Structure 1
Amino acid sequence: MNLILKKQIIIVLSAIMLFPLFSGPVYANNIIYEKYQDKRITLKHTNAPIKSILASITSQTDLKFIFEESVLEKVKNISIDIKSGTLNSVLNEISKQTGLVFRQNDNTIAVSIGATTHQAPQATKQQPDKISGTILDINNEPLIGVSVTVKGTTKGTITDEYGKYQLDISGDETLVFSYIGYETKEVVVKDKSVINLTLNENLNDLNEVVVIGYGTQRKGDITSSVASIKSEEFIKGAVKDAGQLIQGKVAGMTIINPSGDPTSGTQVLLRGNTTILGANSDPLVLIDGVPGSFNTVAPEDIESVDVLKDGSAAAIYGTRGTNGVILITTKKAKGAQINEVEYSGYISTSQIVKRLKMLTAEDYRNQIADGTRDASWDHGASTDWLDEITRTPFSHVHNISLKGGTGSTNYIANLNYRSLQGVFKESDNSVFQGRIEINHRMLDDKLKLNFSILGKQNQFSSTSNTGSFNGYTYRQSLIHNPTDPVKNADGSWYENPNLFEYENPVARLLESDGNIKNNETRYTGNITLDPINELKLNALFSYTRTNRSHGYYETKNHISTVRDGLNGWSSSGFYTRMEKLLELTAQYSKEISGHKFMVLGGYSYQETDFEDNYMSNYNFQTDYFSWHNMGIGAALKEGLAGMSTSKERTNLIGFFGRATYSYQDKYLLMASLRHEAASQLWGTKSPWGTFPSVSLGWRITGESFMQDQHIFDDLKLRAGYGVTGSQPSDSFRGVALLSYGSYFYSNGKWIQTINPSQNANPYLKWEEKKETNIGLDFSLKKGRITGSIDYYNRDIDGLLYDYAVPTPPNLYPTTRANVGKMRNSGVEVLISVTPIRNKDIEWNTTATFSTNSNKLISLSNDMYQTSTDYFLPGWISEPVKTESHIVKVGEPIGNFYGYKVVDISDDGKWIYEDKDGNLVPYDQFTHSIDDKKVIGNGLPKYYASWNNSIRYKNFDLNISMRGAFKFQIINGARMYYENTNLEQYNRLQSAYDKIYGKAILNKVVPGEFNSYYVENGDYWKIDNVTLGYTINNLGIKYIKSMRLYLSSLNTLTISGYKGINPEVSSTGLAPGYDNRDQYPSIRSYTFGVNIKF
């Protein structure tokens, strides 16, 4: 372990030495926060004392300087002439002439000479007129830069890198200890010579910065529904992506992991479904302002995640903001002027949480013995087919972060490697990615340059020609006869080709070979210019290129090729996606006598190019080349090989603006407007859409009548309204299209047909979401109790749908049009409490609760009508073969549509309830579609979460829990595998239980979808439990601190659901279906370490 650490340190130090830094000389180690760089200062002094120059800076800003008189007395007079300079450039010039050092804590700047002020004091040499001490946080780590001042004076100092301070005093004075983000403390000196303190964080810091669209805003000034999650609040352990980091942290946002596949991601739904035929329901994800996904950056490289939940916050993103906006901020150098190195890593293993209880070989033989199964079904072996295709996986993740810089340039570099194994064999995922970001300031900090490069390679195994995990192989392991052997006596695979869709699952895995590889490179540049006071010009540009290759091969011994009489089958594909983004913004800010104004204007252009190709071939002379030599397949020369290519480009152009206003931080206003067009609406009369928003805030605690109350620290009422849009999912929807069709033979020639494929609709436009949000933010007990309550109402107008039209006059039988209307409404509550907080122990607990009510309001108008007021999405495949859901006007999305059974006869046949409420026996029931009913709904009505963070000295414990309630699940596994009609396939053990305690289902009854297979889906999960221990002083020269932790994910599920996992998909129009082929849910166990060098 020590050798590995030494090698890592050598590599890190070598990288730092080779890293280019483009900066000029540094005159002092000044620490000035970025948010104060917009201050502009004009100075013209000749041979002036430094004290008067500092007073001049104070008069032009809200900054206060603290110092010891003896310090300034040692400094000679200077001359300085600066016009409209930045704070940093002014202080650097003073430092150059005087040797003074400036360190800032919020609006206070401490002044000292060189490093002498920061030398650790010796307690044994204290003089009566001096006071000294050490300031720590609640984790016993030193706080650097704490302001220590004598109350009522400018006399003061700041703490050094060890948290230590020393200050001259006279008499019985009071010291004030303040630090940004922490509670201020006052201590009377009396006869003390040493004062050591522990400062607590300010639990409700209204000055905390929250990321919003195209900028940031003080938490106290937010007037929309916005959630902000910092890295210390993230879910710990073996998380898949950025989505899992914030699972259960945002009220109203559902993040689920229905699959245990290491290559799959999380599913996100914010405030319900917003479309029935348009684009997907995923929120817009931006990484440092550039569109991406939860998989774009490594979870370890993320600093914070901010979620714009309501329309007034998301409207500035126009057509991309309907489903909400998730803003991911990566870790930054934050003005680092010394080299810093951090390593984090973990090892992990996992297991299937719950297995379906299928019949075993022993069960088969018991049935044969009691005469319920023919003896011919015993093939002599005892095989656990699921065990044959699964394993105990081992995964490991490593992340190294480097930060450093000089006075005008800093950088951060992050390297991440992930080797992930799934519980199924041949389900592996490896990811290597790196990101480097450089910041440089020049021209007296008026010009700031930022450039970053992200590179990523993702490679995972594939056991099908369509993706990574082959659910069909999992299905075969369940339905296979447990008395079948894996191989015959001669070593060949045991197969039974006479049975329909019955294939040896082990052979399917090992007689196929597949690989998917993704390579992504992203270049991002950001230029900020402050030409005059309070004006900021910004240009953001990015270029992202993603290449994806996919190869798959089935050998000549694969059951599919054997059955089809082929000598091997192969497919290969490749696609390239190129995304370009340019965004220009100008922002002007001004404050006049308590009135704060900010105006933002901008332009955005986004272009996406997509190219792909696909080919397939078969009948190879050898399996040796797999998919790497496609041309040698004999099908090619016979003209039977497959081939396709495609190319597409989309464009999005927009103009936007925003204005904010605040008076005395009490009355708040924000308004925005976006006007944009997209190529998907090319050919229509209105390709442009306009999306306005307005939101208001009233800080009630700022009013005079609230000054004498002692309940609320802060109380703010919010109200907002915003309009956003959704783009059509396909391009060129406004014009008529023709497509190539089949061939026909005429006059000795094959002639290809051309057919209409789309009617023109020049009136096609955006789907529009109009959302109203009313909220209340509150804080009590000095921030120990904080929270928010929101009510929202979303009306989606102009829902896209394909309507049947007559032909002629139309060329095509359907036309897509904006007609329908849908509504979502709900309540969201978040409460955070800190019941205990002292030096040794702290407990933070946060609970969320949310509701969602959905309804389809209409589906027709005067021009376009449907033949019925409903349509049937969702499909249950063979042998059942029926629709599973119904979307109907006046009803919510997610309703199950099937036959209602109420009992079973003595001979094991269903008894139904028909459309009129009559009970009908199986033999008399016609199974008419008119007798189908709504028999459940797959969308939860209520969601809740409870997150706890507990610290005891150096130990920390984090527990995250969440649940969903008032919904049902279609148990696909029971529907298929409890059907005894298909005796040749293995069944669930429960297939032989008596239904309603009366009878086993009769073998003459075929499988069908009815209410018996609909179950209550309510669940409560303990998602994550993490126990950690931090060591601050290891006694190792190059290591500052180390944290060790143990973690489990998907720890415990409490539910009455009989299937594997009640956490099923809640997106789309057919939610709540537990697919029989779904990769089973897994539980992971992790050991990890974080090291700061």
Structure 2
Amino acid sequence: MNRIRLLIMGLLCLTCLMAEAQTRKLSGKVLDPQNTGLPGASVLVKGTTVGTATDANGEFSISAPANAVLVVSYTGYLAKEVSVGRATSLNITLDESPQMLSDVVVIGYGTQRKRDLTGAIASISQADVKNLPIARADQILQGRISGVQVTQTNAEPGGNISIRIRGTNSINSGNEPLFVIDGFPGAGDLNSINPSDIESMEVLKDASATAIYGSRGANGVVIVTTKKGSSKQSSVNFEAYHGLQTVSKMYEMMNAKEFATYLNDVQTLTNRETPASSKALPYTQDQIAGLGEGTNWQKQVLRSAPISNYQLSFLGGNTDTRYNLSMNYFNQQGIVINSGFQRGSIRLNLDKKISNKINVGFTSQLTRSVENRALVNTAGSSEAGGVILDAMRFNPALPVYDQTGAYTYLNGPSGYVELVGNPVAYANKVKNQYSNFRGLLNFFGEYEIVKGLKLRTSAGTDFNYSSLDYYLPSDIYGGSNSKGTATRTSGSRYSWVNENTLTYDREFNKSHALTLLGGLTFQEFNFTDFATSNSNFFTNLLESDNIGIGANVLPPSSSRSKNNLMSYFGRANYRFMDKYLFTFTMRADGSSRFGPNNKWGYFPSGAFAWRVIDESFMKSVPVISDLKLRASYGVTGNQEIASYSSFARYTSNAYTLGGATRVIGLSPNNIPNPDISWESTSSLDFGIDLSALSNRITLTADYYYKRTKDLLLNVSVPVSSGYSTVLLNAGGVENKGFELGINSVNINSGRFKWTTAANISANRNKVTDLNGEYERFVGTSSSSIFPSASNGATSLLRVGEPIGAFYGYVFDGIWQTQDEISASKRTGVRPGDPRYADLNGDGLIDAKDRTIIGQAQPKFIYGLTNNLTLGNFNLNVFLQGVQGDNVLNMNRYYLETGGYINGNKLQSQTQRWTGPGTSNTIAKANSTLRRGTGITSDIVEDGSFLRVKTVSLSYTVPKIAAISNVVKTANIYVTAQNLFTFTNYSGYDPEVNSFGASNLSLNTDLNAYPNVRTFTAGIRIGL
């Protein structure tokens, strides 16, 4: 019996020893990405009910068997599974979830939990673009938010960017969104805002979100929030990057020998066809034989250029005070010689808690920028030209400098080529400098009257002073006739705003929650401009610094204008059982821009969202983490017209009496319209927000329909009235589309993490009404190219078609023989000329044969970001694309035969037509048929592209014990931008519009600044 007892006791001891060997104590710490402990994080042994929570420092202790898997989760962070292995101590870092429903986003006049949103609002934070060398703040949005098309209309440093949110709403009025910077509405564009200062950007897309901004919300709203201080700890942050920009693509042009041969061919054919006006060939065969490659004028004008940025910021505070002081210097030299952009800024944001009821603070920024512009007209005439275009068409047989060492003065040989000046001389010697100083200040105070009821008042100002300093010297061709021209312009834009809001926020019986907002705002905008010009200077040394020494003084000009906006607004957010969400908004705007009969406009909206995930039946669907359905409808407006447009205005006229006395008179300038009012856009939106697999996959999809009516349209009137147009509320535009955004956590285990963010959107635009007209010709390229009014138009507005429809003739090959021409009964053409399709079959080629030959608006736009982290390394790859649009490549009009004949041509033109059967795509050397024809389908190209926009590799330097009390964080990175562009477009870049944000001349490429490929290396240090 004793032996049996001893045996049993031995077995029990062995079992205990085995259990002790398999289950052991495990300790660790749960951290956020900044290595701060997360208190209250859940730590669970997978497949069991064994679990614990972290303490105030983020530390935990748990009993876990060998090779167990811990499931660690924390609100606002992505859950992570960690294999224990043989470890006895673990540090587990959780990554923030960009799509967690507990996130708070900025909305109009407040903030709201993302889970409670009823409108279509997208957000992007500084963390999403922290390793990117971004020159302009609005580039942050490019390709990263569905429904938002950001186009670099001018790639010149400091150049413009156009933003379209859910399509083009207006024809004559503005289509850019309203920018709200730290609560200041109508703060212009973002070119003067330091991108490194931005904490987040919210894009309000549907009427539920934008109606709170009423008459300025039709084109969407972009809310910019800059960085504030921290109440936890103070820090000093320094960032610097330096890089090199290179030309991503050049046109392949004829070399000197090929161009000389081409000029001889032009003259030979001209002599044969018009013997009476024949003249000698420009080059002898011996001269041609002695020519080689010659001068590549593009390479002389374009260069590799540096780019650099330096940022120093101080953030900190305590429980009562927070501050952020930042200083920035940005310098981008242009790839066109003598062009560039410099910006220096300083920002101070401060907020202070005076008491438990009172908070005050302000945001402020001062910015100074200087832009050296390169796109000057080198032709010295009305003919389209500029440094870029002339570098392509200038004779490659000529050198940059003549035998005396001076710049080659003029294109040659004289009489055989168009007269344009040396583009290198223009780029280096013409002064075209734009300077800007901007201050943006906004003060606020907030008082909690009783619990849940807060009064907030703010007052701010945005002042902007700009000047242009231009000098065209007399020793280059363009300035020879005027003997030097100097111009000085200056302007100011000043606005102030006062906003007052009252917010009531309260929950009732745990089932009802109500937030009420009411507000009153006043805003005034003031504009002044002054310009003076002179010519005929006896010296170029002083340029425009002593404009009075010119002998041909031109009358100066000046102007002043202002407009006011007064508004009342209110919003109610009601939440029932935390799953049925309602939003109602109303704004009334009174604007001085409109007539006395229609000063006030009213803009209501309503929205409903159902949090389906919170219904009891969803508990049986564990794969779904969140599900919300949204619907909204509302009305917003557009007031972007000139001040005093509703009133009778006068213009000055100068007359010379008696051959000497200059007399100024006034005459009416417009037809007044006291009934002019807002454009009105009604918008319907249906959306779904879905998360699955413990928020590893999140999806947002929206369908919208927008209809704009009462367009602010210039309508033609009989010339017998003394005017050509009158501004009316007439016409309509429609936009409808679909948006989809998907974020996924593909891998999140151990040291490796891979996330993907993708978006795609499709918008269909259509003109629905033109005040009874069926169609209207719009857009322009150059009056010297298309001299007649009908041919000068490049686009067509037609009911049922989108804005931006290219309109012209269909290219149909090359006439090969005289017999072919005779059989067609065509006149005015010769073998080797381009042929255009006779669409109506009447045997003639005239205006009746023009048709829509392309669309400027894309079928869809998309973006794709992959972010991979392995240990301390992070790789971010961002792709951006546009599909289904067309670009009018006006450069090809000059650079191909069939248009202007007397300039250098594309290298492909060496394969031009020289006889029957030689070419059916490229006209003969002396053909000029295209010149008076207007735009044709062969220069309207597919503008679709897929771009490897950004590739960035960063490394987080591990903490070094010896200096860890000084250097808290350190990160180094290398980045490539615009690395590859996959496109069929033959020009520099398919993302272009030489006419900026024009609604009527979209996607036109004429003398545009080339896009650049950029390589940078940078470092960030936190102290």
TM-score norm. by structure 1 comes to 0.80
1:289 paired residue number? 183
1:943 aligns to 2:849 (yes or no): no
User: Letter of the aligned partner of 1:1050 in structure 2?
Assistant: N
User: Letter of the aligned partner of 2:637 in structure 1?
Assistant: G
Once the two structures are superposed, residues 34-81 of structure 1 have per-residue CA deviations (whole angstroms, 9 ceiling, x without a partner) of xxxxxxxxxxxxxxxxxxxxxxxxxxxxxxxxxxxxxxxxxxxxxxxx
Measured in 1, the distance between the counterparts of 2:522 and 2:921 equals 66
1:315 paired residue number? 211
Once the two structures are superposed, residues 962-999 of structure 1 have per-residue CA deviations (whole angstroms, 9 ceiling, x without a partner) of 21112222222222210256443111112233579436
Give the 3 Å change call, closer, same or farther, for CA 937–204 of structure 1 in structure 2. Answer: closer
Secondary structure of the residue aligned to 1:485 is coil
Deviation at 1:794, TM superposition (A): 0.4
Q: Are the counterparts in 1 of residues 834 and 930 from structure 2 also a CA contact under 8 Å?
A: no
Match of 1:1080 among 1002, 1010, 1015: 1010
2:202 paired residue number? 306
Deviation at 1:304, TM superposition (A): 0.9
Q: Where do 5+ consecutive residues of structure 1 fail to align?
A: 1-127
Q: Are the counterparts in 2 of residues 711 and 780 from structure 1 also a CA contact under 8 Å?
A: yes
Greater relative contact order (CA < 8 Å, ≥ 6 in sequence)? 2
Matches within 5 A, 1:183-582: 196-202=91-97, 204-234=99-129, 236-278=131-173, 280-291=174-185, 292=187, 293-336=189-232, 338-364=233-259, 374-375=282-283, 382-443=294-355, 445-463=356-374, 472-496=386-410, 500-564=418-482, 566=483, 568-582=484-498
User: Letter of the aligned partner of 1:451 in structure 2?
Assistant: F
Once the two structures are superposed, residues 3-22 of structure 1 have per-residue CA deviations (whole angstroms, 9 ceiling, x without a partner) of xxxxxxxxxxxxxxxxxxxx
1:598 aligns to 2:515 (yes or no): yes
Q: Are the counterparts in 1 of residues 528 and 561 from structure 2 also a CA contact under 8 Å?
A: yes
Match of 2:923 among 1001, 1010, 1015: 1001
Measured in 1, the distance between the counterparts of 2:908 and 2:1006 equals 16
Give the 3 Å change call, closer, same or farther, for CA 188–442 of structure 1 in structure 2. Answer: farther
Deviation at 1:610, TM superposition (A): 1.1
1:1039 aligns to 2:967 (yes or no): yes
Give the 3 Å change call, closer, same or farther, for CA 1091–500 of structure 1 in structure 2. Answer: same
Matches within 5 A, 1:681-696: 681=594, 683-696=595-608
Secondary structure of the residue aligned to 1:851 is strand
Give the 3 Å change call, closer, same or farther, for CA 631–709 of structure 1 in structure 2. Answer: same
User: Letter of the aligned partner of 2:215 in structure 1?
Assistant: T
Match of 2:890 among 972, 986, 990: 972
**Larger mean Cα displacement after TM superposition, 721-730 or 790-799:** 721-730
Identity %: 30
Once the two structures are superposed, residues 579-626 of structure 1 have per-residue CA deviations (whole angstroms, 9 ceiling, x without a partner) of 101111000011012211000000111111111111111233332222
Measured in 1, the distance between the counterparts of 2:709 and 2:217 equals 15
Secondary structure of the residue aligned to 1:375 is coil
Q: Are the counterparts in 1 of residues 639 and 679 from structure 2 also a CA contact under 8 Å?
A: yes
Q: Are the counterparts in 1 of residues 760 and 863 from structure 2 also a CA contact under 8 Å?
A: yes
Deviation at 1:874, TM superposition (A): 3.1
1:147 aligns to 2:40 (yes or no): yes
Deviation at 1:901, TM superposition (A): 2.2
Match of 1:846 among 757, 761, 769: 757
1:914 paired residue number? 838
1:607 aligns to 2:524 (yes or no): yes
Q: Are the counterparts in 2 of residues 908 and 999 from structure 1 also a CA contact under 8 Å?
A: no
Give the 3 Å change call, closer, same or farther, for CA 315–408 of structure 1 in structure 2. Answer: same
Once the two structures are superposed, residues 71-127 of structure 1 have per-residue CA deviations (whole angstroms, 9 ceiling, x without a partner) of xxxxxxxxxxxxxxxxxxxxxxxxxxxxxxxxxxxxxxxxxxxxxxxxxxxxxxxxx
2:819 paired residue number? none
Match of 2:949 among 1018, 1023, 1031: 1023
Measured in 2, the distance between the counterparts of 1:982 and 1:873 equals 21
Give the 3 Å change call, closer, same or farther, for CA 456–970 of structure 1 in structure 2. Answer: same
Deviation at 1:708, TM superposition (A): 1.4
Deviation at 1:879, TM superposition (A): 3.0
Deviation at 1:164, TM superposition (A): 5.0
1:1049 paired residue number? 977
Secondary structure of the residue aligned to 1:318 is helix
1:1092 paired residue number? 1022
Measured in 2, the distance between the counterparts of 1:219 and 1:1082 equals 38
Secondary structure of the residue aligned to 2:556 is strand
**Larger mean Cα displacement after TM superposition, 892-901 or 752-761:** 752-761
Q: Are the counterparts in 2 of residues 203 and 782 from structure 1 also a CA contact under 8 Å?
A: no
2:825 paired residue number? none
Deviation at 1:366, TM superposition (A): 6.2
Deviation at 1:488, TM superposition (A): 2.1
2:15 paired residue number? none
Measured in 2, the distance between the counterparts of 1:751 and 1:1025 equals 63
Once the two structures are superposed, residues 359-416 of structure 1 have per-residue CA deviations (whole angstroms, 9 ceiling, x without a partner) of 1124336668999774168697822212222222111101111112233112111111
Q: Where do 5+ consecutive residues of structure 2 fail to align?
A: 1-22, 269-280, 379-383, 817-830
Deviation at 1:725, TM superposition (A): 0.5
Q: Are the counterparts in 1 of residues 43 and 54 from structure 2 also a CA contact under 8 Å?
A: no
2:381 paired residue number? none
Give the 3 Å change call, closer, same or farther, for CA 195–263 of structure 1 in structure 2. Answer: closer
Give the 3 Å change call, closer, same or farther, for CA 155–538 of structure 1 in structure 2. Answer: farther
1:1063 aligns to 2:995 (yes or no): no
Give the 3 Å change call, closer, same or farther, for CA 148–218 of structure 1 in structure 2. Answer: closer
Deviation at 1:903, TM superposition (A): 2.5
Matches within 5 A, 1:174-185: 179-182=74-77
Give the 3 Å change call, closer, same or farther, for CA 668–1027 of structure 1 in structure 2. Answer: same
Match of 2:728 among 801, 812, 817: 817
Give the 3 Å change call, closer, same or farther, for CA 857–187 of structure 1 in structure 2. Answer: closer
Give the 3 Å change call, closer, same or farther, for CA 357–164 of structure 1 in structure 2. Answer: same
Give the 3 Å change call, closer, same or farther, for CA 897–157 of structure 1 in structure 2. Answer: closer
Give the 3 Å change call, closer, same or farther, for CA 773–905 of structure 1 in structure 2. Answer: same
Measured in 2, the distance between the counterparts of 1:987 and 1:366 equals 12
1:666 paired residue number? 579
1:903 paired residue number? 813
User: Letter of the aligned partner of 1:1004 in structure 2?
Assistant: S
Give the 3 Å change call, closer, same or farther, for CA 388–534 of structure 1 in structure 2. Answer: same
Q: Are the counterparts in 1 of residues 992 and 1008 from structure 2 also a CA contact under 8 Å?
A: no
User: Letter of the aligned partner of 2:710 in structure 1?
Assistant: G
Measured in 2, the distance between the counterparts of 1:560 and 1:589 equals 67
Secondary structure of the residue aligned to 1:1007 is helix
Measured in 2, the distance between the counterparts of 1:828 and 1:352 equals 34
Match of 2:779 among 848, 867, 873: 873
Deviation at 1:253, TM superposition (A): 0.5
Q: Are the counterparts in 1 of residues 230 and 316 from structure 2 also a CA contact under 8 Å?
A: no
Measured in 2, the distance between the counterparts of 1:541 and 1:525 equals 5
User: Letter of the aligned partner of 1:142 in structure 2?
Assistant: N
1:836 aligns to 2:836 (yes or no): no
Q: Are the counterparts in 1 of residues 247 and 302 from structure 2 also a CA contact under 8 Å?
A: no
User: Letter of the aligned partner of 1:210 in structure 2?
Assistant: V
Measured in 1, the distance between the counterparts of 2:342 and 2:982 equals 33
User: Letter of the aligned partner of 2:551 in structure 1?
Assistant: A
Give the 3 Å change call, closer, same or farther, for CA 870–1055 of structure 1 in structure 2. Answer: same
Give the 3 Å change call, closer, same or farther, for CA 305–616 of structure 1 in structure 2. Answer: same
Give the 3 Å change call, closer, same or farther, for CA 707–1006 of structure 1 in structure 2. Answer: same
TM-align CA RMSD:
3.2
User: Letter of the aligned partner of 2:746 in structure 1?
Assistant: P
